[in-house]
A and B are shown apart, each in its own frame.
Chain A
């Protein structure tokens, strides 16, 4: 079955770095765009990054632009999020999600179980 499994979360000090991974299985990873979406504790969902199936087109939300970088390795069926210069406000559960691009938009399904990133001194 289609599955996404995130890893790499943890506790990091402000200004530190972390790299999240998302392992995909059950589908042809190289055919799909992918995205990272986060959710701060008790808050709503925030889309943060999006990458094309080839990895040549990237988008990042303004809140993370210049600090976070999305990438992928299609040979390893893996998606990544390199997070640098972390701030307290980056504390959140980070989800990876598969994006389907259709004639009437893009939608995210499925999502991984999420990995918690805590930024605190």
Chain B
């Protein structure tokens, strides 16, 4: 199975900061990589699919990059509503479609 490793596991930042979260796959997954945001007590929400495509309705301050094994999610200017936990997920070939362990973004 493909393993997904996110870094960091937690991150403290301030409103207005630029933040980058990294996700690494244990083998190449082309661009079959998605990013989700989850707030406490809520279901996850899709932010980015296919590594760099912004889901409809998601603010343009969110962006994704990467190909192969290394991927990033960047928030260009943190807003108060962005403090949440972020997960990457690979969807390469057949299941299992594994998630990273999550990155908790907290207010500094």
Contacts and interface: CB of A to CB of B under 8 A. Distances in A.
Say whether A associates with B: yes
Interface of A: 35, 44-47, 50, 59, 61-62, 95, 100, 102, 104-114
Contacts of B97: 35, 47, 50, 106
Given A47-B89, A50-B97, A59-B94, 20 more contacts: A35-B97, A44-B100, A44-B102, A45-B87, A47-B95, A47-B99, A59-B96, A61-B96, A104-B49, A104-B53, A105-B31, A108-B34, A108-B36, A108-B44, A108-B46, A108-B89, A109-B46, A109-B55, A110-B45, A111-B45
B11 to A, nearest CB: 16
A72 B23 CA distance: 33
Contact of A44 (B51, B92, B101): B101
Contacts of A44: 87, 99-102
A61 B99 contact: no
Given A44-B87, A46-B99, A59-B96, A102 B50 contact: yes
B34 A105 contact: yes
Chain B interface mostly? loop
30 contacts: A44-B99, A44-B100, A44-B102, A45-B38, A45-B99, A45-B102, A47-B89, A47-B95, A47-B96, A47-B98, A50-B97, A61-B95, A102-B50, A104-B30, A104-B31, A104-B49, A104-B50, A105-B31, A105-B32, A105-B34, A105-B49, A106-B32, A106-B91, A107-B46, A107-B50, A107-B89, A108-B34, A108-B44, A108-B89, A109-B45
Contacts of B1: 62
Interface of B: 1, 30-34, 36, 38, 43-46, 49-51, 53, 55, 87, 89, 91-92, 94-102
Contacts of A61: 95-96
A111 B46 CA distance: 9
